[in-house]
Structure 1
Amino acid sequence: MGSRVELFAAIRRDARVEEVSIRELARRHGVHRRTVRLALESAEPPPRKRPVRASPRLDPFKDVIDGMLRSDLDAPRKQRHTATRILARLVEEHDACGLSYSTVRDYVRVRRAQIDLEGGRRVEAFIAQEHAPGAEAEVDFGEVWVVIDGVRTKCYMFVLWLAHSGKAIHRVYPTQAQEAFLQGHVEAFEAIGGIPVRHIKYDNLTSAVSKVIHGPGRARQESDRWVLFRSHYGFDAFYCQPGIEGAHEKGGVEGAVGWFRRNHLTPMPQVTSLDELNERIRVWEAADEDRRITGHANTIGQDFATERDLLRPLPVERFDPGLVLRPRVDRSSMITVRMVKYSVPAHLIGHRVRVSLRASEVVVFEDRAVVAVHPRVAARTGHVVVLDHYLEVLRHKPGALPGSTALAQARAAGVFTSAHEAFWAASRKVNGDADGTRELVEVLLLHRSLTAADVTAGISAALSVGAVTADVVAVEARRHATTTGATAAAAGGGGGATGGRHPAARTGTPEQRVVSLTQRRLTDPASVIAGLPPDTRPIPSVAAYDELLPRRAARTTDTAQEASTS
């Protein structure tokens, strides 16, 4: 026999067609006569009565449990009884034996709600909300763990979630301080192409709220820089109730943090830098637009396409989210920012510099000029040293280079390449340690005006003929830059020199681009002269200037005669 609904329908059909007795219907369908009478009275079967399961082991302790739950009516929220604690007290104080956790848990779940209602405690109820397109957003931070260069590091994920479409922007930073809070907003606004027109919801983050003013309403004392930021971008802030009571007021972003962490950051991502991780996140965000959130008719991308055009436009000027500091440069040409030392150019020793401490980088200014940009270090201690900042000093103290921290970090970062190592070794062999290192320093200074590829090409060309001077490297590096630029211009259809104008390009024969004076001095002068190209220029002459001499002499004589007459 099928379901009770089918049973009732079959009984009613037989009674209607054959007009048999109740006894016959009960015999035919194998049910009691009460069931037949119920089927004839109504086509819908009555609900089954759920039997009340007896709890012989729990019954003696129900009054004790109720007393514990009633005492919770006046207890602090975080110090109320849990089912685990109630079971422990029953065992310790009342010698309860044989009680299972599930039995106590099920009873507590039902009785706690009843006792709270009897005691007049307010029962939280949630009311579904409608969010107009482009009107609201929610912001929050979430903790994430990332393996950076093999080191497990605790980081913080900033999330801005649009309430209508569910579009979310995620950025991972080494800190959740105010500079990261503001940087996250700037990047999120630029990613979505606008600003919500109504408000953005927050909990009471110290990056925005200096003080929560308790009492009716949601008054907050905001930090000055946060007020300036909101004024610049033109949006209002909505602050949720403090503590757990206000968590549901921005449940969208709370869920977005957890969903993204479970689906994209599990297992822990392994990257070389946070910039690499954030690039991956941008790809994941684009893919997530094809996802449909439960209860939404459209995908995230379809709803966001409608919402994008309704956002407030971005201001013309970009807000600098960095925290402005003014540290003094110490004798090691370094500044200390949040317990981490960063190098600056050596000529700033003893001066105070302006620093913009941002979420992922540290920017150092001399007046209005940027003199150093470092990736921000997440650790509380450490050194970030750039070799270029010490080159002027190393000219006078070349012996300090081999064991310096700057050189070690340049090698680790791949900035000091094998080409530099080869040039340094050859230069020290020919010129001695001090002068050879000075030649290397001059080569390193070329990086300020030429690309690394050009300097490397210059080093290779100089080493190929045994010339270990910075001047030869400079000439060849600039020649490489010119040739490369001309070839690129020719390929792109631009003006300027083309590759076909170079003699080697016309003849197809290799050209000796470097002249080694050392090699020429060691060879026969006749062969050296014979190897030089013919000089077709005319011999210099000063005849044109000689014509001016008679005129100058005549002018001097006339002047003397006029003076004697007067």
Structure 2
Amino acid sequence: MALSKQELFDRIRRDSWQLGLPIRALSRKYGVHRRLVREALASPVAQPRKRPVRISPRMEPYKKTVDEWLRADLEAPRKQRHTAKRIGTRLEEEFGVTLPYTTVRDFVTARRRAIAAEEGVPAEGFLTRHNVPGADAEVDFGEVWVDLAGERVKCFLFAFRLAYSGRSVHRISRSCGQQAFFEGHVHALRVLGGVPAGQVRYDNLTPAVRKVVFRSRLREENPKWAALREFYGFTAFYCEPGLRGAHEKGGVEGQVGYFRRNYLTPVPTVQTLEELNLRLVQFEEREANRRIGSRIRTIGQDFAQEAPHLLPLPADPFETAMTFHPRVDRYSRITVKMCSYSVPARFIDRKVTVHLTGDTLVVFDGRREIARHARLAGRGLEHLLLDHYLEVLLRKPGALDRSEALHQARAEGTFTAAHEAFWAMAKQQRGEDDGTTALVRVLLLHRHQQHADVIAGLRAAVKLGSCSEDVVALEARKAAQAAGRAPTVTASPAAPEHPEPMDPQLPQVSHLTSHRLAKPLPDDVRPLPRLEQWDELLHLHRKESP
């Protein structure tokens, strides 16, 4: 094993003192030059090896220029200061010289520190925070990509982290708006079973803060956010704006990245966000067995000590939904948060009530729900359901082909190949308008029969060559009966995939024979009956009996 320079000095001095070996013998024994032996005998402490000063001849003519740029950076905004890559680009653009990136990087790294020291720029230091059980917490949002129903979309991960134990609660939503922010708090406090008694630390998020008072900790809060804080009884602490405030809630800043790397990589594939949020509950259970850094206890053990110190929750949760009262326009749409949603056409020019949450939008007429949509994340977007326009299409069948509602139904898969085949056959047999009207009447069946049953009815009707909506309805009832379901149900998005078996007391479906469904009955060409002789009977009198 190679000896360090100090160990080599110690051995040389010991052999010279104990064994009396001369310099030449010590040099041969340890395989070093005689100069090093003399250095060891002259001083018991080995001098560190001098690092050679590396020079860059190609960089030398531009060092003063780069120094001027770096000194000017001391007065520039933090996010608009030179990087090594930018300096290399400027040297190429202004002086026509291309230098290796590593050469520029090494020089800039060394000179940036030296210039800061020369100008007396103080080094930024940090203090370790003492966390008390049940006192403080931290909140943050982070971006996360999700393959949602076959489409990759950007969502947002809400994280609520207790400072003492590191216990974290997460929730993913389509936006980081006010409803998602509120729903994340309600969910997190319910899961934790209590409210932090100290401070909850935040960025200056728009859902919470309307205005940052210049150069102070004062904030003008959103009124509804203030109502939520007062409802649960916790105190908000707002960090400094920008990067200077990131260290003030460093625990949750690291938690978002850690959770994203360890549990949301690779990109999760789900049909709904509810499914993904259920997975997050399982991930959080695994986290209970993890130790943070050099801690002796696990997160779950520390949380068991912290939970009794949390303040109790109110009896009822805070109402996070926002309520609006828009008017339905002539296109049977309402506009909420700069996005448009369809409602049934019979409500045109009427006011409705809208409950908006982080993920859904529910429309009511009085107390009756009339429409439900997934909330759109963006501006100027619209979601139209074809079912809402069927009454209009009965009067204007020509508008169906190029309608946005039909385009979205095709994209979502609710308007299937079976519908397309039936429509094509109906237009061929009855013409454009009448064939489209027949399709619209079939689409109305979805309101009272299961989607799968109607599809089965469409396929049977196409196979039989009939474009009658009555045929589709009867075949749909037959499909429902064969699957053990009630033939007529109230269509609903929340309808169970496996309903209860059909009651045997219900009336059975009357089946039509295939040859009657295949084509209409031939015309009756027989002559009409002659009734003159029967009319003569009306004038005969019954003879009286003797």
In the TM superposition, what is the alpha-carbon distance from 1:5 to its structure 2 partner? 5.7
Do the aligned partners of 1:143 and 1:157 also contact (CA within 8 Å) in 2? yes
CA distance in 1: counterparts of 2:22 and 2:380, whole angstroms: 91
Q: Relative to 1, partners in 2 of residues 1:447 and 1:195: Cα closer, same or farther, differing over 3 Å?
A: farther
Deviates more, 1:272-281 or 1:327-336: 272-281
Amino acid at match of 2:238: Y
In the TM superposition, what is the alpha-carbon distance from 1:135 to its structure 2 partner? 3.2
Do the aligned partners of 1:193 and 1:314 also contact (CA within 8 Å) in 2? yes
In the TM superposition, what is the alpha-carbon distance from 1:89 to its structure 2 partner? 9.3
Deviations 1:310-331 (A, max 9, x none): 5445444343433433322111
Write the mapping of 1:143-542 to structure 2, written as runs, cut at 5 A.
143-145=143-145, 153-215=153-215, 218-262=217-261, 292-300=291-299, 303-304=302-303, 307=306, 311-397=310-396, 400-401=399-400, 404-417=403-416, 444-445=443-444, 447-453=446-452, 468=468, 470=470, 473=473, 477=477, 480=480, 484=484, 513-515=510-512, 519=516
Deviations 1:38-72 (A, max 9, x none): 55xxxxx5562645737697999999988877766
In the TM superposition, what is the alpha-carbon distance from 1:335 to its structure 2 partner? 1.3
1:136 aligns to 2:136 (yes or no): yes
**1:324 counterpart SS class:** strand
Task: Report the counterpart of residue 32 of structure 1 in structure 2.
Answer: 37
Deviations 1:503-557 (A, max 9, x none): 9xxxxxxx9852569959979xxxxxxxxxxxxxxxxxxxxxxxxxxxxxxxxxx
Amino acid at match of 2:129: Q
Where in structure 2 are there 5+ consecutive unaligned residues? Answer: 487-499, 523-546
Do the aligned partners of 2:425 and 2:467 also contact (CA within 8 Å) in 1? no
**2:379 counterpart SS class:** coil
**1:484 counterpart SS class:** coil
* Structure with the largest fraction of helix: 1
In the TM superposition, what is the alpha-carbon distance from 1:200 to its structure 2 partner? 1.8
Do the aligned partners of 2:456 and 2:479 also contact (CA within 8 Å) in 1? no
Deviations 1:342-363 (A, max 9, x none): 1102221111222233333222
Q: Relative to 1, partners in 2 of residues 1:10 and 1:61: Cα closer, same or farther, differing over 3 Å?
A: same
1:104 aligns to 2:107 (yes or no): yes
Do the aligned partners of 1:462 and 1:473 also contact (CA within 8 Å) in 2? no
In the TM superposition, what is the alpha-carbon distance from 1:464 to its structure 2 partner? 9.4
Q: Provide the aligned length of Structure 1 versus Structure 2.
A: 497
Do the aligned partners of 2:390 and 2:444 also contact (CA within 8 Å) in 1? yes
In the TM superposition, what is the alpha-carbon distance from 1:409 to its structure 2 partner? 3.0
CA distance in 1: counterparts of 2:227 and 2:439, whole angstroms: 49
TM-score by length of 1: 0.67
CA distance in 1: counterparts of 2:182 and 2:473, whole angstroms: 46
Amino acid at match of 2:182: L
Where in structure 1 are there 5+ consecutive unaligned residues? Answer: 40-44, 487-494, 504-510, 524-566
Amino acid at match of 1:110: R
Do the aligned partners of 1:461 and 1:514 also contact (CA within 8 Å) in 2? no
Q: Relative to 1, partners in 2 of residues 1:193 and 1:482: Cα closer, same or farther, differing over 3 Å?
A: farther
**1:181 counterpart SS class:** helix
Amino acid at match of 1:206: T
Q: Relative to 1, partners in 2 of residues 1:471 and 1:270: Cα closer, same or farther, differing over 3 Å?
A: closer
CA distance in 1: counterparts of 2:131 and 2:8, whole angstroms: 48
CA distance in 2: counterparts of 1:7 and 1:103, whole angstroms: 33
**2:341 counterpart SS class:** strand
**2:130 counterpart SS class:** coil
CA distance in 2: counterparts of 1:84 and 1:402, whole angstroms: 54
Deviates more, 1:19-28 or 1:227-236: 19-28
Deviates more, 1:158-167 or 1:363-372: 158-167
Task: Report the counterpart of residue 525 of structure 2 in structure 1.
Answer: none
**2:228 counterpart SS class:** helix
Amino acid at match of 2:118: I
Q: Relative to 1, partners in 2 of residues 1:460 and 1:226: Cα closer, same or farther, differing over 3 Å?
A: same
Amino acid at match of 1:114: A
In the TM superposition, what is the alpha-carbon distance from 1:114 to its structure 2 partner? 2.1
Q: Relative to 1, partners in 2 of residues 1:305 and 1:421: Cα closer, same or farther, differing over 3 Å?
A: farther
CA distance in 1: counterparts of 2:390 and 2:156, whole angstroms: 37
Task: Report the counterpart of residue 543 of structure 1 in structure 2.
Answer: none
Q: Relative to 1, partners in 2 of residues 1:231 and 1:49: Cα closer, same or farther, differing over 3 Å?
A: same
In the TM superposition, what is the alpha-carbon distance from 1:452 to its structure 2 partner? 3.4
Q: Relative to 1, partners in 2 of residues 1:400 and 1:242: Cα closer, same or farther, differing over 3 Å?
A: closer
CA distance in 1: counterparts of 2:347 and 2:41, whole angstroms: 100
CA distance in 1: counterparts of 2:7 and 2:509, whole angstroms: 100
CA distance in 2: counterparts of 1:416 and 1:94, whole angstroms: 63
Task: Report the counterpart of residue 542 of structure 1 in structure 2.
Answer: none
Deviates more, 1:360-369 or 1:444-453: 444-453
Task: Report the counterpart of residue 118 of structure 2 in structure 1.
Answer: 115
CA distance in 2: counterparts of 1:103 and 1:428, whole angstroms: 74
Q: Relative to 1, partners in 2 of residues 1:342 and 1:15: Cα closer, same or farther, differing over 3 Å?
A: same
TM-score by length of 2: 0.69
Do the aligned partners of 2:460 and 2:475 also contact (CA within 8 Å) in 1? no
CA distance in 2: counterparts of 1:479 and 1:150, whole angstroms: 29
Do the aligned partners of 1:443 and 1:474 also contact (CA within 8 Å) in 2? no
CA distance in 1: counterparts of 2:444 and 2:89, whole angstroms: 73
Greater C-alpha Rg: 1
Deviations 1:471-524 (A, max 9, x none): 9937974994798369xxxxxxxx99977x999xxxxxxx9852569959979x
Amino acid at match of 2:362: V
In the TM superposition, what is the alpha-carbon distance from 1:169 to its structure 2 partner? 4.2
Amino acid at match of 2:202: Y
Amino acid at match of 1:354: T
Q: Relative to 1, partners in 2 of residues 1:512 and 1:244: Cα closer, same or farther, differing over 3 Å?
A: closer
CA distance in 2: counterparts of 1:325 and 1:291, whole angstroms: 44
Do the aligned partners of 1:201 and 1:250 also contact (CA within 8 Å) in 2? yes
Amino acid at match of 1:514: H
Deviations 1:401-453 (A, max 9, x none): 55544344334333345566677778889999878766765664554455435
In the TM superposition, what is the alpha-carbon distance from 1:246 to its structure 2 partner? 1.2
Do the aligned partners of 2:173 and 2:358 also contact (CA within 8 Å) in 1? yes
Deviations 1:62-102 (A, max 9, x none): 99988877766666555667667888999999999999424
In the TM superposition, what is the alpha-carbon distance from 1:385 to its structure 2 partner? 1.5
Amino acid at match of 1:413: E
Deviates more, 1:73-82 or 1:152-161: 73-82
CA distance in 2: counterparts of 1:54 and 1:398, whole angstroms: 82
Task: Report the counterpart of residue 2 of structure 1 in structure 2.
Answer: 3
